[in-house]
Amino acid sequence: MYDILKMPLRYVSRSLRYIIRSEINSSWAHRDQDIQAGLQRKALEETIDYVERNMPGVDSVTSSNELLSKGLSLVKGDGLICEFGVFSGRSINHIASHVNTEVYGFDSFEGLPERWRDGYGQGFFKVDRLPKVSKNVVLIKGWFDKTLPDFVKSQSKAVAFLHIDCDLYSSTKTIFDNLGEKIKPGCVIVFDEYFNYPGWKEGEIKAFHEFLETHHLKYEYIGYNAKHEQAAVVIKAPA
């Protein structure tokens, strides 16, 4: 075997060119056969088309926290502040730092109740202990369909701000089925998995539009994350 450090420079250069060319060719070959990468490219193309058709003039942001902050800045009145899908507590603590009222965080902490998509099976996102949260955060542990009915009965206020970070169509539908009567014009909703992933048309966005149709409400986009999957809306009264 040759020691490349002892080879003449002209041969080293030739050898390096060969290695680099081989690596590039190999990389392209793998990329062309990468199904997941292809599915994501397709999802991105569909999302770009959706943004062009439905969000003209809507300003984008480049992080989920920036979108949460923008949504919170548009909250009017004294209403409920809720997050669905707490996980590590990162986003709910961000929300809590922007308000002077209680923030309700709903999560089973048992992970996904069912498969979401490739790589995210039942139980994904399970945590062994509750996250550390700000003093004004109230965690409500349990599956949404079990915890929401009693919560709704105990609250007289409408919902001012929702952060929906539960991934699944079924979980999002449960939220809207239970909170629907408390979601009024002016309510701000930030979705964490709205689009830009394989299968997005069957997820949170589908449950949201079904809710709008059922309750005869309109909405307006107020922002989206140009680097990921988040979008934010404000609920409007029907024309």
Q: Could you read off the pLDDT of 200-214 as tens digits, one per residue?
A: 999 999 999 999 999
Q: Which fold has domain 57-236?
A: Rossmann fold (3.40.50)
Dihedral pair phi/psi, residue 223, rounded to 5°: 165, 165
pLDDT (0 to 100) of residue 227: 97
Q: In whole angstroms, what is the distance from residue 190 CA to residue 83 CA?
A: 9
Cβ–Cβ < 8 Å for 204, 233: no
Structure tokens at 72: 């919170």
- Which segments of the chain does DSSP mark as H helices, in order? 9-32, 35-54, 64-73, 90-96, 144-154, 169-179, 204-215
pLDDT band at 21 (very low <50, low <70, confident <90, very high): confident
Contacts of 163 (CB under 8 A, 6+ apart): 68, 71, 82, 83, 84, 85, 91, 92, 95, 189, 190, 192
Q: Is 223 left (phi over 0), alpha (psi -120 to 50) or beta?
A: left
In the chain, the percentage of residues whose pLDDT exceeds 90 is: 85
Nearest Cα residue to 230 out of 171, 170, 188? 188
Mean pLDDT of the region 93-104: 98
How far apart, in Å, do the first and last CA atoms of the chain sit?
79
In the chain, the percentage of residues whose pLDDT exceeds 70 is: 88
Average pLDDT score over the chain = 92
pLDDT of 238 above 90: no
Per domain, the residue ranges of the chain are 4-33, 57-236
Q: In whole angstroms, what is the distance from residue 179 CA to residue 166 CA?
A: 15
| Bridge pairing between strands 183-191 and 231-236 | antiparallel
Cβ–Cβ < 8 Å for 82, 161: yes
Lowest mean pLDDT among 27-36, 51-60, 96-105: 27-36
pLDDT (0 to 100) of residue 187: 98
Cβ–Cβ < 8 Å for 222, 58: yes
Lowest mean pLDDT among 12-26, 58-72, 156-170, 173-187: 12-26
pLDDT (0 to 100) of residue 186: 97
pLDDT (0 to 100) of residue 33: 83
Mean pLDDT of the region 34-51: 96
pLDDT band at 26 (very low <50, low <70, confident <90, very high): low
Mean pLDDT of the region 216-237: 98
pLDDT band at 146 (very low <50, low <70, confident <90, very high): very high
pLDDT of 8 above 80: no
C-alpha dihedral sign at 141, 144, 146, 150: positive
Cβ–Cβ < 8 Å for 72, 98: yes
pLDDT band at 25 (very low <50, low <70, confident <90, very high): low
